[in-house]
Chains A and B, each alone.
Chain A
Amino acid sequence: NAGVTQTPKFQVLKTGQSMTLQCAQDMNHEYMSWYRQDPGMGLRLIHYSVGAGITDQGEVPNGYNVSRSTTEDFPLRLLSAAPSQTSVYFCASRAGRHQETQYFGPGTRLLVL
């Protein structure tokens, strides 16, 4: 198993550009989520999904969209990038409601100029 994979590893955007951060898992996990990590802020939940076709907002959803058309993939879209979205983004998955362990991807480092 590759676990949770994320692409790209690093990205530079200009303000106003859009892009999609990719996340995939091969563990057949129901739950997937996106976090961002900023210095001194810990990890903050952006969006999450409890299964294909079901998504919901986390703590800091503004400026981001998600979709979950398959169990494996959970892309995060930045609609119009802003410097405040400069961060490290982590995707995570876990097996289901009663499975406690989350598995994290290696992260995507995003710089918005």
Chain B
Amino acid sequence: DAKTTQPPSMDCAEGRAANLPCNHSTISGNEYVYWYRQIHSQGPQYIIHGLKNNETNEMASLIITEDRKSSTLILPHATLRDTAVYYCIVRLNSGGSNYKLTFGKGTLLTVNP
């Protein structure tokens, strides 16, 4: 399984873009990069995922480097409600275990007023 490395914490000013990095240097060619977040005392929430191309949805943008060894989640205009732990996950892709998402320790993003 490809492992991910994220900074333990980051700060961002309200209204500014939050750029959350993730390293996944051992990712294999058919593994996706997922981002979830967990607001305090709630269940994890899906944000976005991608394989090779950059992706954008109503919540965020995902930028994946050409060699796929790292990615960045971008929240374009962070709000106080975006304060959460953000998890970068590489999807397991080995036979019957593709049900599973392995959550690491993530990055605690604190959005400051």
Contact = CB atoms under 8 A, between A and B. Distances in A.
A57 to B, nearest CB: 11
Interface residues of A, number: 24
A45 B46 contact: no
A56 B97 CA distance: 10
Interface residues of B, number: 22
A90 B105 contact: no
Contacts of B99: 31, 33, 48, 50, 94
B101 interface: yes
Contact of B42 (A100, A101, A103, A106): A106
A100 B44 contact: no
A92 B43 CA distance: 9
A58 B100 contact: yes
A107 B105 contact: no
Nearest to B101: A102
Contacts of A53: none
B43 A48 contact: no
For chain A, what secondary structure do more than half of its interface residues adopt (helix, strand, loop), or is it mixed?
strand
A90 B104 contact: no
B91 interface: yes
27 contacts: A4-B43, A31-B99, A40-B105, A42-B103, A42-B104, A42-B105, A43-B44, A43-B101, A43-B103, A45-B100, A48-B100, A50-B99, A56-B96, A58-B100, A92-B43, A92-B44, A94-B99, A100-B32, A100-B34, A100-B49, A102-B44, A102-B46, A103-B46, A104-B43, A105-B43, A106-B42, A107-B43
Given A43-B101, A103-B46, 7 more contacts: A42-B102, A48-B100, A58-B100, A92-B44, A97-B98, A100-B32, A107-B43
Interface of A: 4, 31, 33, 35, 40, 42-43, 45, 48, 50, 56, 58, 90, 92, 94, 97, 100-107
